[in-house]
Chain A
Amino acid sequence: MKLKLFVFFALIFIPVSSACVVEIRSTTFYVNGTQEITRDWFVIDFENTYGYDLFDVRFGELAFVPVIRDGERVRLDPYKNVSPKHFPIAVFATVESFGDRSIVRYVLENSGDSVEVSISIPMFPDFISCDNCVVSNERIVFNRTIARNESVGFNLTLRRDFTIPDGAISFSYAGKIDMSFAANVPVVVEKGRSENWIGVFKVSNILDKKVEGNATAFVEFATGNRTMLFEEEIELEPGENFTKSVEVKSQLVPTFFFRVQLRVEDYCNLTTLPATEIGGRYVIGYATLRGFTHTTSAAVPVMPALPTPEIVTVPTPEIPPSPEMVRETIEAVPEILLPPPKVAKELVVQYVVMMIPAIFGTFFTTLFIPLRSRGIVAIKEHERFLVALYPKFRIFTTPSNPVRGGIVIEPDEELVSRFLGMGIDRKYAELLAVAVKVKKPVIALDASVARVAVAFGILVIMYG
């Protein structure tokens, strides 16, 4: 997985700073048309190029900034995680096998705006050739602009049984997000007198944007009496003025007040990008395109890295389509019954003579010497069982859910991802990955975990 970061070819380079608001979705695409988004968040990177200071700036519902000076660049992390939304892209792969070869047909469907998509898969041993894509720098690369509701695809010709590794899919969707602010506009109040006092109230929109809001005028006398003269909703196009004069009949000298609240309703560019999570960090610009294994003759079941619908873990209004298995059914191997061989009496005696001391030795060693070479993999919730096993067993454990006194082993993240893809919790996925790494049995209390463990050839004890 590590090398994937460094050997990107022809992926679309999307500078984060080109947008005002960036939405980032940590995503994994599966070849059955589903996608898993584990986190969806926003960041703001706004540079005030309006040519004047902005006040009370609102970026939709995301953030509020009191002042952004002319030319100032504001980078904000509003810690706004939202319910994950799916990208309007789906990737499907179907497999057809002919003789010693298989053809994998990848189809990309775009239900959103026109988008440039790039897929890059590292070269793998089962690859023979590709159609509608190129091979360069040890990567298979497909690059196309897909119009709304268009489907495009490419084909890979491979060996009959194959494993396609994880690839990367990059794209970006552009959008808009509401942004509003208040700005300084000149306000003039003139006081005159003929028979009555005259107040002239004037606002000029000197901005290059339409402004809207309300204007309120008051008159106040030395006695402290205050009277509202008018309150109006106003909209001013660039260069337009608002003028209103009001006459006031009074023997006292009035003071005129004019309060104007105008805002510019604008928008800023929103860029939505995929990201790939790697060990708690997020690489921005591409999502993982999960690979898969296809086998027609293997005797051992191969676990495809395809999701079951349950592992689309995030709350989403869309219902993911049911997974389309791209693996052919494994044919049953016919059972052949062989008669038990006859063993000569001399061999039996020799065997018994040899085995008696060995059995005694094993028995006493097990009884009196703690067999520290024996081990078991467990997590914190198994501690109550370990009392019986310790110290005869070495306890191996995971870093995230460790058993006190256990030997902590870092699980292989790729294997953990694979177990996660089979719909089991992360703690159990790490437990199994450690078991595979140290080649020791696990304690499993959960039937599904035990089943997965057994499928991977891991011994399970104390299940149930």
Chain B
Amino acid sequence: MRVWLIVVMLILCTQTVFGGVLEIEEMKISVFATDKAHLKYEIKLRNTIDKPIVPGISELRLQKVENTKLLFFPIPIGEQRKAVEVENLRAYSGNLNFKASFEHFEDYTTVYYEIWYPIEPYGEKNVIVEFDADLVDHGLIFKSLTIPVGGDVDIKKLDLDINSDWKLCYLEGDVTSVPSNHIAFITAEFSILPFPLLPFRGYVLFWGSLLILIAILALLLVRK
């Protein structure tokens, strides 16, 4: 598995670095991709110092990555990055709801959630942020989504659970932790066809094979 672990400050939180005060001890991202993706972030925040800490405004940034298309065929050259439509956003911890909102920027969307209640010294707080997002790049036979994960705090443990009504045929980004100010991109591709889990993108294999077959047939016809 190829891991994109790139320092992309553009997609990072605007908040300045201050590692060590607060960390995400555990983050579980559950995704269910149909026409849209339902994302559920289960975040365990941990105060790492002996003073109460208020997390304030935290961000999750989203970006839709679409393959360039020739007519309606996706081609593996270049990609477009766009802002993402977000619906049914909520952030909560038990029966306590947090203020949550989102904002669209030119080529990405930021989801905000606000926690102004202090986390006790060395204490923890579990926060759940969930929403529906127009993250899925739909094709005829394949659909894919890319999720950026990262921020201004260390994510010590990252669990990812991606499912769909179609079959998972490709998963990129086998990442289990993300340091602060880094971002990891996780890409999943699903197919309506019963492909096994492939080492590369299924649409490249499928459409590439089809084009080669057509070219061979055309060549044979010309020679006759």
Main secondary structure of the interface of B (DSSP, over half): loop
Inter-chain contacts of B54 with A (CB < 8 A): 24, 275, 281-282, 284
Inter-chain contacts of B16 with A (CB < 8 A): 279-280, 410-411, 413, 416
Asked if A236 is an interface residue, CB under 8 A from chain B, the answer is no
Asked if A41 is an interface residue, CB under 8 A from chain B, the answer is yes
What are the interface flags for A1-22 relative to B under an 8 Å C-beta threshold, 1 for contact and 0 otherwise? 0100110100000011100001
A285 touches B52 (CB 8 A): yes
B52 touches A5 (CB 8 A): no
Q: Which B residues from 112 to 136 make CB contacts under 8 A with A?
A: 114-118, 120
Given contacts A77-B98, A280-B152, A285-B51, contact A410 B9 (CB under 8 A): yes
CA of A16 to CA of B53, assembled, Å: 10
- Chain B nearest CB: distance from A112 CB in Å? 22
Given contacts A5-B21, A284-B51, A284-B54, contact A77 B96 (CB under 8 A): yes
Given contacts A24-B54, A399-B14, A402-B10, contact A5 B49 (CB under 8 A): yes
Q: Which A residues from 210 to 262 make CB contacts under 8 A with B?
A: none
- Chain A nearest CB: distance from B23 CB in Å? 11
A79 touches B56 (CB 8 A): no
B10 touches A75 (CB 8 A): no
Inter-chain contacts of B13 with A (CB < 8 A): 280
B20 touches A2 (CB 8 A): yes
CA of A75 to CA of B118, assembled, Å: 10
Closest to A400 in B: B14
What are the interface flags for B16-53 relative to A under an 8 Å C-beta threshold, 1 for contact and 0 otherwise? 11101110000000000000000000000000011111
Inter-chain contacts of B118 with A (CB < 8 A): 16, 22, 24, 43, 282, 284
Asked if B157 is an interface residue, CB under 8 A from chain A, the answer is no
CA of A199 to CA of B88, assembled, Å: 55
A283 touches B9 (CB 8 A): no
Asked if B55 is an interface residue, CB under 8 A from chain A, the answer is yes
B117 touches A408 (CB 8 A): no
B99 touches A79 (CB 8 A): yes
Closest to A407 in B: B9
Asked if B181 is an interface residue, CB under 8 A from chain A, the answer is yes
Inter-chain contacts of B192 with A (CB < 8 A): none
A410 touches B181 (CB 8 A): yes
Give the contacting residue for B116; candidates A15, A43, A277, A399; CB below 8 A: A43
Asked if B15 is an interface residue, CB under 8 A from chain A, the answer is yes
A283 touches B116 (CB 8 A): no
- Chain B nearest CB: distance from A450 CB in Å? 24
Inter-chain contacts of B98 with A (CB < 8 A): 77
6 closest Cβ contacts across the A-B interface? A280-B15, A408-B9, A279-B18, A282-B54, A279-B16, A284-B52
What are 12 residue pairs bridging A and B, where the CB atoms are less than 8 Å apart in the complex? A16-B52, A77-B115, A277-B56, A279-B15, A280-B18, A280-B57, A281-B54, A399-B10, A399-B12, A410-B9, A410-B181, A416-B16
